[in-house]
Amino acid sequence: MMFDVKDLSLADKGKQRIEWARQSMPVLSLIQEEFSKTKPFEGLTIGACLHVTTETANLMIALKEGGANVVLCASNPLSTQDDVAASLVVHHNIPTFAIKGEDNKTYYSH
């Protein structure tokens, strides 16, 4: 799996923050449960360019649970949460291309 994040050792902290945010997202949690049963995105690839935050992570996890192959890159390097990006790679096998404060060359390569 290809990815480009700041530091994979941040993944456990990111996992805790993603799980904490999920508690405030009950509708998305219900959707994720339904997706896990029905797999509406089976065989599809979904590429997203969004703020890499705990909320976005929960959306990507729900889409993957729905059967999609998911790839995420940062839409704004200033809002990227490096621990969240690392957790998506390590704990959810979601290719993520995001580094807080990345330079223009890196941003456009992602």
pLDDT by residue for the chain (110 residues), tens only, comes to 899 999 999 999 999 999 999 999 999 999 999 999 999 999 999 999 999 999 999 999 999 999 999 999 999 999 999 999 999 999 999 999 999 999 999 999 99
Residue 53 half-sphere exposure toward CB, CA atoms < 13 A: 9
CATH number at residue 47: 3.40.50.1480
In tens, the pLDDT along 35-59 reads 999 999 999 999 999 999 999 999 9
Note down the domain range covering 89: 4-109
Helices (H), the chain: 11-22, 26-38, 54-65, 82-92, 104-109
- Confidence at residue 11, expressed as pLDDT on a 0 to 100 scale: 98
- How many structural domains comprise the chain? 1
